[in-house]
Chains A and B, each alone.
Chain A
Amino acid sequence: MIERRPVLDFVSHAVLIIGVAIIAFPVYVAFVASTQTAAQITGSNPLSLVPGNNIVSSYTLALMGGKVAAGGTIPPGWPMLWISFVVAMVIALGKIAISIISAFAIVYFRFPFRGLVFWMIFITLMLPWRCASARPTRWSPTWD
Chain B
Amino acid sequence: MEKRVRFKSAWLPWLLVAPQMAVVLVFFFWPAGQTLYQSVLQEDAFGMSRQFVGWQNFERLWEDPSYLDSFYTTAIFSLLVAVLGICIALLLAVMANRVVRGAAIYKTLLIWPYAVAPVVAGVLWLMMFASPWGVVAYALQALGDGWNHLLSGTDAMALIVMASVWKQISYNFLFFLAGLQSVPSSVIEAATIDGASPWRRFWNIVFPLLSPTTFFLLVMNVIYAFFDTFAIVDAATQGGPGKDTSILVYKVNYDGFKALDMGGSAAQSAVLMAIVILLTVFQFRFVEKKVQY
Contacts and interface: CB of A to CB of B under 8 A. Distances in A.
B151 to A, nearest CB: 18
A142 B188 CA distance: 70
Given A46-B133, A131-B227, A138 B24 contact: no
Contacts of B10: 111
B113 A23 contact: yes
A69 interface: no
A16 B276 contact: no
Interface of A (DSSP majority class): helix
B132 A42 contact: yes
B92 A15 contact: yes
B189 interface: yes
Contact of A111 (B13, B91, B106, B132): B13
A128 interface: yes
Interface stretch (B69-77, B203-211, B237-245, B262-270): B262-270
A45 B24 contact: no
A42 B101 CA distance: 42
Contacts of A126: 223, 276-277, 279-280
Contacts, number: 194
B280 A49 contact: no
Contact of A127 (B102, B110, B277): B277
Interface in A79-123: 98-99, 101-102, 104-111, 114, 117, 120-121, 123
A20 B106 contact: yes
Contacts of B54: none
Interface of B (DSSP majority class): helix
Given A45-B138, A98-B23, A117-B21, A133 B98 contact: no
Nearest to B193: A2
B99 A2 contact: no
B133 A45 contact: yes
A134 interface: yes
Interface string B84-102: 0000100110011011101
Contact of B109 (A3, A20, A98, A131): A20
A29 B135 CA distance: 8
B62 interface: no
Given A11-B95, A30-B127, A134-B249, 10 more contacts: A29-B127, A102-B16, A105-B16, A109-B7, A109-B8, A111-B14, A128-B223, A131-B227, A131-B249, A135-B266
10 contacts: A13-B102, A20-B109, A23-B110, A47-B135, A49-B135, A98-B19, A109-B6, A126-B277, A136-B265, A139-B47
